[in-house]
């Protein structure tokens, strides 16, 4: 079975649409979201609607939790401004879809969280070693949250972070995702209409500060 992993969509509908178009062309019908459908960019309703239409399971992310609660992002005023906007526009259907998300999902032979196994929502697995998974059941592990694509393979364990579909932070502005088929794991990128994402931000009342980094493949506020 061919399985696609997407993570950190963050309301970037043009990016998600480009990823899904590639998956459709490849005949991939099984998609899992590793969390953070919400946050940053304004089209969270469109993203959630399409994921639900395709019966995509979403792993609960920290920004998903922010939207569903009154909690702000403790690290970023920009992220907080975006999530407060999304709380105002999120439809009941969008909220219901996100509310069904679980912090830990085992599906299709893959153990999945958004952050890490010590803190499923908010642990950053930047440096990943085999010891992190030694006591965990399973062979393939996946998470998002860092927005940095990586595959690590050991004797009997594989870890994959597909990178971010909606806000890449590795200097490559293309939307990121991963394909898993049996023991094979492959990272993929696809170009998308960043101008459309920027236009959606402007229409929602956000300044260039909030979207110019999309053209650089960087976090909000980065200039290079």
d(CA 166, CA 201): 13
* Mean per-residue pLDDT over the chain, rounded: 96
Confidence category of residue 221, pLDDT binned at 50, 70, 90: confident
In this model, does residue 2 exceed pLDDT 80?
yes
CATH class of residue range 2-215 = alpha beta
In this model, does residue 224 exceed pLDDT 80?
no
d(CA 74, CA 17): 30
Of 49-53, 70-74, 82-86, 106-110, the one with minimum mean pLDDT is: 70-74
**Residue 208 near residue 221, CB atoms below 8 Å:** no
pTM for this entry:
0.97
> With b meaning 16 or more CB within 10 Å and e meaning fewer, what string describes 98-112?
beebebebeeeebbb
């Amino acid at each position: 079975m061919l399985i696609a992993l997407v993570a950190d969509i963050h309301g970037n509908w043009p990016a998600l649409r480009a990823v899904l178009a590639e998956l459709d062309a490849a005949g991939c019908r099984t998609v899992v979201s590793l969390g953070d459908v919400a946050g940053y960019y304004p089209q969270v309703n469109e993203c959630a609607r399409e994921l639900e239409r395709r019966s995509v399971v979403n792993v609960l992310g920290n920004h998903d939790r922010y939207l569903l609660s009154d909690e702000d992002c403790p690290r970023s005023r920009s992220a907080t401004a975006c999530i407060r906007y999304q709380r105002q526009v999120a439809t009941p259907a969008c909220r219901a879809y996100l509310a069904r998300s679980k912090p830990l999902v085992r599906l299709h032979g893959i153990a999945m969280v958004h952050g890490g196994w010590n803190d499923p929502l908010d642990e950053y697995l930047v440096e990943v070693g085999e010891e992190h998974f030694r006591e965990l059941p399973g062979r393939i592990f996946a998470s998002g949250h860092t927005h940095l694509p990586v595959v690590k393979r050991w004797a009997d364990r594989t870890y994959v972070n597909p990178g971010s579909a909606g806000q890449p932070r590795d200097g490559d502005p293309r939307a990121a995702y991963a394909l898993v088929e049996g023991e094979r794991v492959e990272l993929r990128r696809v170009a998308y209409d960043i101008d459309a994402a920027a236009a959606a931000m402007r229409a929602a009342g956000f300044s260039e500060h909030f979207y110019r980094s999309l053209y650089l493949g960087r976090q909000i506020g980065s200039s290079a």
